[in-house]
A and B are shown apart, each in its own frame.
Chain A
Amino acid sequence: MDGKALKAQRVKLFRDAANFRRTDRIPHFANVVTWKVFDAGHTLDEAMTNFEVMEKCVLHFLDKYPVDSILDVGIRNQFNVTEAFGEGSYYYYDKEVVGIHDHAHCTVETLQEYLDDPTRYAWEVILPKKYGEAWEQKTTEVWKKTFSEYIKYTKFVLHMAKVMDKYGLPGLSPNNPMKGAVVPAVETLMSDLLGIQQLSIAMRRSGDLLDAFIERWEKERMEPIYAKIRKAKGPDDVHCFDSSILMLAHTVMNKKQFERFYWPYLKKLLDVYAEKKMNIRIFTEGSILRFAEYFADYPKGLLTFHIEQDDPFEFRAALPNVAIMGGMTTDLLSNGTPEECVAYAKRLCDELGRDGGFIFSENKMLSYRNDAKAENMLAVCNFVNEYRL
């Protein structure tokens, strides 16, 4: 089967599973990021600054492990652009580890200023603060070199999209780095604008300022997205899902805060997708089960939760209307035997996937060397690919 036909078959498989339609086998979405670098015999510093090495690692993974799609084909962690610009990155890496420091572009008092003109704010506030005295030293040559690296990176992104096509792997959703993701206000507050610490404090002390920011974000950023979704014909036929949303901010909220700062706006977004009968994947970092009641009334097909810390069987009992992505724990992949991993994979497929509603995946992004043993990963991938329900 050629790449195009294989991709179409896989899109159908993912969509059928998300819509609780019976399938002859369970699709496997590989939640794999930088683990593949180690598996290919390289270290992170070798792959994250060299497109050729990174592509080699991606191809090594795709040739070795039979999966139906993959989270990252080497485009998520590349440092050439920021390194061309000089010291000052929030991201850090070495041979074994990649991470990001908690950071804040704003204070709760400057959120409105950011919204007034994000480019001006970046130019006058964020970049001078981030790069310090070095900001004043950036020459035309440094800027040109940085822009040149950015163009090379963009070409690499496009090249790896062709690799995905060749292997018949559908992308997760239309939300990719080239088009921009759908980001609820509280998630951008937590990840960039305020950071974890400031957001946590602001929810207690400066609720009105947060309300004002969220309302404006909703009007200026989200309403155009709602309009765009409403204009769409419906589910697309080239991606696993119509949208992928990341939820992390709920992990620092109590129910009262969730009901004030998060749920009314998330509900609005989900309702619009529901109107168009689209399929949405939500990566729920941490645990989402304590908020299960909010999602209980949506029809089957709308929501697929990629669960991280929640028990999949407990999740199915609590939210039988929500498809599950995940289930395979990195704990078992890194500490178990191939037999134990396959036995658990079989239980997941049998108990969660017989009537649709289940997509096999790893519960955490496989990033570090010890997130999985290669023999376990291989045994599980082969099993899921060959097992017939």
Chain B
Amino acid sequence: MKGKYSGYPDGYKKLVKDIIPFYMRPVKDMLMRLLLTILVDG
């Protein structure tokens, strides 16, 4: 992905911070993994 979310893990971490701001880190990580699973497999 280009722009501010480019690269892994930096761009990925920035995205997680931007779209899931209200949860503790482990919850954020879990939610993002599950979202990615839907986007990958769906």
Per the bound structure, the CA–CA distance linking A140 and B3 in Å amounts to 11
Establish whether residues A135 and B41, one from each chain, have CB atoms under 8 Å apart when the complex forms: no
Whether a CB of chain B sits under 8 angstroms from the CB of A119 is yes
Establish whether residues A147 and B35, one from each chain, have CB atoms under 8 Å apart when the complex forms: yes
- List, in ascending order, chain B residues with CB within 8 A of A130's CB: 40
Whether a CB of chain B sits under 8 angstroms from the CB of A126 is yes
Most chain B CB within a 10 A radius of its CB, from A85, A105, A138, A147: A147
Whether a CB of chain B sits under 8 angstroms from the CB of A120 is yes
B:1-42 near A, CB below 8 Å: 1-3, 5, 8-9, 11-12, 15, 18-20, 31, 33-36, 38-42
Whether a CB of chain B sits under 8 angstroms from the CB of A122 is yes
Given A120-B8, A124-B8, A143-B18, A81 contacting B38 (CB threshold 8 A): yes
Per the bound structure, the CA–CA distance linking A359 and B14 in Å amounts to 50
- List, in ascending order, chain A residues with CB within 8 A of B42's CB: 79, 81-82, 89-91
Task: Report B41 CB to chain A, min CB distance, Å.
Answer: 6
- List, in ascending order, chain B residues with CB within 8 A of A91's CB: 42
Task: Report A65 CB to chain B, min CB distance, Å.
Answer: 29
Establish whether residues A128 and B19, one from each chain, have CB atoms under 8 Å apart when the complex forms: no
Number of residues of chain A lying within 8 A (CB) of chain B: 27
Closest to B36 in A: A122
Closest to A147 in B: B19
Query: Which of A81, A90, A136 lies in contact with B2, CB distance below 8 A?
Result: A136
Given A105-B40, A140-B18, A143-B19, A128 contacting B1 (CB threshold 8 A): yes
Establish whether residues B36 and A82, one from each chain, have CB atoms under 8 Å apart when the complex forms: no
A:79-105 near B, CB below 8 Å: 79, 81-82, 85, 89-91, 105
Per the bound structure, the CA–CA distance linking A300 and B37 in Å amounts to 36
Per the bound structure, the CA–CA distance linking A123 and B35 in Å amounts to 12
Closest to A82 in B: B42
A:48-73 near B, CB below 8 Å: none
Establish whether residues B40 and A146, one from each chain, have CB atoms under 8 Å apart when the complex forms: no
Closest to B4 in A: A140
- List, in ascending order, chain B residues with CB within 8 A of A126's CB: 40
Establish whether residues B8 and A82, one from each chain, have CB atoms under 8 Å apart when the complex forms: no
- List, in ascending order, chain A residues with CB within 8 A of B34's CB: 150
Question: Please, what's the 1-or-0 string for A232-275, where 1 marks a CB less than 8 Å from any CB in chain B?
Answer: 00000000000000000000000000000000000000000000
- List, in ascending order, chain A residues with CB within 8 A of B9's CB: 120
Establish whether residues A82 and B1, one from each chain, have CB atoms under 8 Å apart when the complex forms: no
- List, in ascending order, chain A residues with CB within 8 A of B40's CB: 105, 122, 126-127, 130, 192
Additional 18 contacts, C-beta under 8 A, given A90-B41, A123-B1, A136-B1: A81-B38, A82-B38, A91-B42, A105-B40, A119-B8, A119-B12, A119-B33, A122-B36, A123-B12, A127-B39, A136-B3, A144-B18, A144-B19, A147-B19, A147-B20, A147-B31, A192-B40, A192-B41
Ranked nearest first, the 3 interchain pairs of A and B with the lowest CB-CB distance are A82-B42, A123-B8, A143-B19
